[in-house]
Structure 1
């Protein structure tokens, strides 16, 4: 049978490679024909609530009118132009908006294609800064275990080397320096004992390798793909002081946590310090088009600029794509033009109430909520394929990973729709 004779789904399964799949056993896949608000509509007409916000990015709902209108308007004027030697209003207007809402010290914006590229850019910034300051041996990074920073090459090197998705490539990746994940959960009281708060180990590793380490990179407060773990923000405050003492740059990967998801505008806002570099993506465009950015402070940017060769050695073809900039500006205007904090707080309260009964199940290890993130952690690995098979019955699309059944619902999710999501989560916890 030729490719032209195959149905859409047959062609997909025989020729298209999906994320984290075995092409010999591709697993179940839904054909999506349309999306709107919190729903995706399948080929057979079934409407499912997208409880994943399409991997955490569709914060204002699918096909949001304000964002799609901004893209349409921009498409008629300037779909794309190179950013080398040229600029345009969408990039400038978005930059102004970013400076309004991001940590005050981060004044320099580098637009990127995706979250993983944002991490690559951050790591290159750190190395080039250290080189410009005369520290040519500082080309490695420190990070915490159970972290995840993307699938591109350098980003993989700072993902967890044992339990992460990239241990297969460990021998081919740059050697980095790993410390235990911050041991004190966010809801627990902080202790200043360095043997119990993780900072003793961090100091030992950073001091022993200070002449090799350019930066310390981590997901602030929330580790996403590494287990949906919420840790105490005081760890970050203390890490800032330690990095300053040793001349190491502090990098926050806020790709998953930015733009209100945690209940703060940025997870950084839980801290009393700011990073040297921050990575932003996912919700930046409300999930409507791929885009990201890396922001840094004047110290780093001017340090690179005053060094040799002076120019920052990175420049994606689609950098500052006008369509993406227009979408991002519209998405950020949507966010800041409403009482997003109250809405996220409402979602959080309902998640706590609705998911609490799951705690009584013997197979459940923990239930936790932060902002618009709800997690049921199991004692065993949960099958994403099994959850997929129940989607039609539940009317909800959930995609567990590892031992976690979780949701990051769109902010436009109604209480009734959220009840459907949490009911689906409890059912998966009971049956899978």
Structure 2
């Protein structure tokens, strides 16, 4: 069927950019006609309709699914009052309530200062920018103006704005096109894999981390990591004991510890925060993505009172950042509703059920010759191939099996909404495995019943 002149997809290609994509008249696209629960209703360019399970939670954010009645109601109530006011010199109930909720939920532990101050940001990348600014201003105000760099991990990803790009993996990351513009930071090796750490591997890694921190301590402001799970850098899960080593290195050398929980926060890895796997409390915490249940863009940077007080007493007299839409009331109201659902506690059983379904449902993919590894953590399931994924082909194949996925590099993965049923998870895992087999597996392997 020839698409009608001026179809929505054609109009899109003529005017819009899409993430990590060229401006191309041949860009593969599907139109979303409706979204409800865990399902999307898609229309292809040739007019075919597909109902698919969203295995991506709209890039890990729509944890409660679409058209959730509690979130819809919160948005409507706030719209009836006011949707936005500037945050400079003004305040409002949704922002105050959100800050209180986040502080109450944040990682805590004996002997560590709690996270008690909240900066509301526009997006995850901005929350990382704020965290990095906080760390540098803290060190300067503490009498260490030379401490301007950061210690990060190979395999890490922290966003696409410039300071955030500077702490992403410098070799295998997505930002090698900007070498002259990125800050020269310090990188420790990627931690060992959680699934099969060799004896002594965590100890050896921690020893190397300490040595690197010691060698550069005089110029470092902070250590920044994604705790337990590195997301866009390769969906790499690592042992929780590594967080303890990171905390020890930061404390030994007078560095702040920043946890980027934008992808992992609010239950995704099986604990409310990934930091909770080790009982480690950072000095600064970044959250986003699932904060509003995928309804509106919002993120937050939390820090200890010591960090906030030191920065406020410094020469600048303030944290030097202030987004126009900071503390947007509409986003804050929906975030409060989303966190209210999480506070009810059902997410833990949901994530546990999902993890069991992902582990059993993806197990057959291990028998495919094209597959290097299959792994899960919390509500995350990953099929890692030996070679790069044919993204358009695997995406189209998965749609034919009723599943929406967005592979990258050599990974076909899922982070489904927490409300996904056992049947939804079974459909996701079967669709992922079948799509990989159809596109990447030699014919003899497909004949074994995996395709």
Taking structure 1 as the reference length, what is the TM-score of the superposition? 0.96
Alignment check: 8 A CA contact 2:394 2:436 kept: no
Q: Cα deviations across residues 158-187 of structure 1 (Å, max 9, x unaligned)? A: 111111111111222110101110125255
Query: Who is 1:94 aligned against?
Result: 98
Question: Partners in 2 of 1:29 and 1:307 — Cα distance?
Answer: 50
Question: Does structure 1 residue 82 correspond to structure 2 residue 89?
Answer: no
Query: Who is 1:67 aligned against?
Result: 71
Tell me how far 1:46 sits from its aligned partner: 2.3
Tell me how far 1:26 sits from its aligned partner: 4.9
Query: Who is 2:432 aligned against?
Result: 425
Q: Cα deviations across residues 371-402 of structure 1 (Å, max 9, x unaligned)? A: 10011111111122112222441111111111
Question: Partners in 2 of 1:390 and 1:39 — Cα distance?
Answer: 17
Distance 1:131 1:33, change over 3 A: same
Alignment check: 8 A CA contact 1:186 1:233 kept: no
Tell me how far 1:264 sits from its aligned partner: 0.3
Alignment check: 8 A CA contact 2:28 2:392 kept: yes
Question: Does structure 1 residue 402 correspond to structure 2 residue 406?
Answer: no
Question: Partners in 2 of 1:336 and 1:146 — Cα distance?
Answer: 32
Query: Who is 1:368 aligned against?
Result: 375
Q: 2:153 aligns with which of 144, 147, 153?
A: 144
Distance 1:90 1:150, change over 3 A: same
Question: Does structure 1 residue 325 correspond to structure 2 residue 332?
Answer: yes
Query: Who is 1:386 aligned against?
Result: 393
Query: Who is 1:129 aligned against?
Result: 138
Structure 2 unaligned blocks of 5 or more: 109-113, 440-451
Please give the secondary structure, in 2, of the residue aligned with 1:376.
strand
Tell me how far 1:61 sits from its aligned partner: 0.1
Distance 1:277 1:387, change over 3 A: same
Please give the secondary structure, in 2, of the residue aligned with 1:226.
coil
Q: Cα deviations across residues 196-255 of structure 1 (Å, max 9, x unaligned)? A: 3x1222122211111111111010000011111110111110111111111111100000
Please give the secondary structure, in 2, of the residue aligned with 1:205.
helix
Alignment check: 8 A CA contact 1:376 1:405 kept: yes
Question: Partners in 2 of 1:421 and 1:359 — Cα distance?
Answer: 16
Question: Partners in 2 of 1:154 and 1:268 — Cα distance?
Answer: 23
Question: Partners in 2 of 1:54 and 1:123 — Cα distance?
Answer: 27
Alignment check: 8 A CA contact 2:398 2:435 kept: no
Question: RMSD of the alignment, in Å?
Answer: 1.5
Query: Who is 1:111 aligned against?
Result: 120
Structure 1 range deviating more: 313-322 or 334-343: 334-343
Question: Does structure 1 residue 7 correspond to structure 2 residue 14?
Answer: no
Tell me how far 1:25 sits from its aligned partner: 5.7
Query: Who is 2:448 aligned against?
Result: none
Alignment check: 8 A CA contact 1:263 1:344 kept: yes
Alignment check: 8 A CA contact 2:107 2:280 kept: no
Alignment check: 8 A CA contact 1:218 1:252 kept: yes
Query: Who is 2:446 aligned against?
Result: none
The number of equivalent residue pairs is 426
1:189-228 alignment runs, 5 A limit: 191=200, 194=203, 196=204, 198-228=205-235
Please give the secondary structure, in 2, of the residue aligned with 1:162.
coil
Query: Who is 1:56 aligned against?
Result: 60
